Amino acid sequence: EDKVVQSPLSLVVHEGDTVTLNCSYEVTNFRSLLWYKQEKKAPTFLFMLTSSGIEKKSGRLSSILDKKELSSILNITATQTGDSAIYLCAGLYNFNKFYFGSGTKLNVKP
Amino acid sequence: NAGVTQTPKFRVLKTGQSMTLLCAQDMNHEYMYWYRQDPGMGLRLIHYSVGEGTTAKGEVPDGYNVSRLKKQNFLLGLESAAPSQTSVYFCASSLGNSDTQYFGPGTRLTVL
């Protein structure tokens, strides 16, 4: 059973749209949740969330953790073609284990 | 700072051959990780290390071995490659266990 599940698997939007990506996680030994953006090669870090209800923001991207719902969302406002990528969610668990979701592939069309 | 580097970038092996992937980081990070990424799937942790001389198994360790003889290097070995090990391999490092992971550019391995 997957510890981290992302939805949707893929998404196509037009420039200027706002998108919300979802990530749910298994609670046992959970410590933190991380979001990454993966374009052509290596994932690059976006956010790390440890506390529930505190929004983290970076430009047009924002993310929040909901420990009651065991989930997190990543919002992207005013999307641009450069936002096209795979967005990965990962849970950090005890004993330094990271478990990644399968990713959401976002395609932003001009 | 080069960050995290991986060699080689590409490799093709025949079934049964062995090889070693090298990961190097120049950020003085304690933690290092090896992942594999298969089409349509996220990254899966193979092995990790919390410091020089230590290694531990991740989610999918079978068929792989690792060594961390120097703090800056983390080696991933395949003793007898199998087609199921065809994948893109990513190395990552972090300062501590609650810190951001920085990823290398990846190694694309094909086993025929």
Q: With contact defined as beta carbons under 8 Å apart, do A63 and A56 qualify?
A: yes
- What pLDDT is recorded for position A1? 65
Backbone angles phi, psi at B85, to 5 degrees: -95, 5
Q: By the CB < 8 Å criterion, does B2 face chain A?
A: no
Measure Cα distances from B6 to B23, B41, B80 in Å.
5, 21, 21
Mean pLDDT over each residue of chain A, to the nearest integer: 93
Confidence tier at B66 by pLDDT (50, 70, 90): very high
Q: With contact defined as beta carbons under 8 Å apart, do B102 and B28 qualify?
A: no
In angstroms, the CA A108 to CA B70 distance is 43
Q: Stretch B37-43: mean pLDDT, rounded?
A: 85
Q: Does A78 score more than 80 pLDDT? A: yes
Confidence tier at A34 by pLDDT (50, 70, 90): very high
Confidence tier at A11 by pLDDT (50, 70, 90): very high
Candidates A34, A88, A96; nearest CB to B97: A96
- Comparing A66-70, B23-27, B96-100, the range with the smallest average pLDDT is B96-100
Q: Inspect the interface and report whether the beta carbons of B42 and A100 lie closer than 8 Å.
A: yes
Q: What percent of chain B has pLDDT over 90?
A: 85
Structure tokens, B3: 């960050």
Confidence tier at A26 by pLDDT (50, 70, 90): very high
Q: What percent of chain A has pLDDT over 90?
A: 79
Q: What is the pLDDT of residues A85-96, one digit of tens each?
A: 999 999 998 877
Q: With contact defined as beta carbons under 8 Å apart, do B23 and B5 qualify?
A: yes
- What pLDDT is recorded for position B101? 87
Q: How many CB atoms lie within 10 A of CB B70?
A: 11
- What pLDDT is recorded for position B22? 97
What residues of chain A lie within 8 A of the CB of B40, using their CB? 102
Closest C-alpha to B21, from B80, B87, B77:
B77
Mean pLDDT over each residue of chain B, to the nearest integer: 93
What residues of chain A lie within 8 A of the CB of B45, using their CB? 97-99
CB under 8 A, 24+ apart: contacts of A56-63: A63/A35
Q: Does B76 score more than 90 pLDDT? A: yes
Structure tokens, A57: 């923001």
In angstroms, the CA B74 to CA B70 distance is 8
Q: Does B98 score more than 80 pLDDT? A: no
